[in-house]
Amino acid sequence: NIYPIYSAVVDENNTFRFDFQVNEPSIYQLRFPNGNIHLFLRGGTVKVNTNLSDLGSYQVIGSPESMQLKEMYYLLNDLNSKTVELQDRVETLKKDKSKVKELLRLVDSLPIYYSAISKEKSKKLRNFVERLDTSMIALLAAFYLDADENYDFLIKTRNKFSKICPGSRFYKQLDDKLANIVPVGPGKDAPNTVASDPNGKEVQLASLKGNVVLLYFWASFSQPCRQENKKILDIYNRYRNKGFSVYAVSIDSEKKYWTDAIKEDKLNWVNVSNLLGWDDELTYIWKIDDIPYLVLIDRQGKITERGFRAFELEAKLKNVLFK
């Protein structure tokens, strides 16, 4: 939330001054008609130099963390712009009926693009956090990291700042974010996963331990999933006798549509569903917000890859199955 503290009028020398008490280190804004300047203040005397026609060129004297905050926002804006560009491209193609094939190719590849952007974001933000070390801006930047992809890194960061500023609201913000996380990123143990097969019998994902398992989220009503079914089934039939299993979780809510799709697509692997649609707890545990969604799990029950597509499966499978 933003709470106005003071307003000021620029004098004939193009300067203004605020005097106020900073009760705890926090983010403040200088708000101008054409934009804002963010500051991280602890108290003391801070001087801001800027050009009103180019606010982004501002420099802060007396508050190194304010300049780090500026760098953090530039980094986040650059990374977020790549996602926006993709979304804009999709919307543009939707308006052009002659670009249907290009649109379908792009939509089919979106998980790959988003995964690449996410990995770039993690890499750059982690480097930023490590470089800033014990700065409060490092703690603030860590909050923007994906908790599943960077769970161990965030735990390490949180523990470091627990000795530096355990009472800070930025520390509490990160601590709260991690409190309810079930880590489901690469290298983590697959969490307890259970659902019922078409006959109503509960089947646990853990029952397949010892095999390399593809955890596959899909639904009968999703055409991209039905297309993935064909590709995955071909790979499954070629590697099933070599220790490869598929645990397919449908997010259908109607049993008939689900079982009809199983028969039509000849899905002869482990098929389960709680028939709760997107309200299924498994979608929350596994952080699934789109389908089809593929997760590869090794023989020891550890997650090796997630968020890829069927055409990438065979290469990833070989790396795990035959190592």
pLDDT tens for each residue of 239-258: 999 999 999 999 999 999 99
Give the domains, in start order, of the chain with CATH numbers: 67-179 (no CATH), 194-321 (3.40.30.10)
pLDDT at 232 over 70: yes
Query: Is 55 within 8 Å of 34 (Cβ atoms)?
Result: yes
CB atoms within 10 A of CB 49: 10
- Position 59 scores a pLDDT of 96
- Position 4 scores a pLDDT of 65
CA distances in angstroms from 309 to 151, 205, 212, listed in the order given: 23, 20, 17
- Position 22 scores a pLDDT of 84
Burial 264-275 (b: 16+ CB within 10 A, else e): ebebebbbbbbb
**Model pTM score:** 0.66
- Position 33 scores a pLDDT of 86
The mean per-residue pLDDT over the stretch 153-172 comes to: 94
- Position 185 scores a pLDDT of 83
- Position 149 scores a pLDDT of 82
Q: How far apart are CA 212 and CA 122, in angstroms?
A: 27
Query: Is 11 within 8 Å of 26 (Cβ atoms)?
Result: no
The mean per-residue pLDDT over the stretch 227-245 comes to: 97
Residue 284 makes CB contacts below 8 A (sequence gap 6+) with none
Residue 22's Cα: distance from chain center in Å? 34
Lowest-pLDDT range, 74-83, 104-113, 233-242? 104-113
pLDDT level of residue 3 (50, 70, 90 thresholds): low
- Position 1 scores a pLDDT of 59
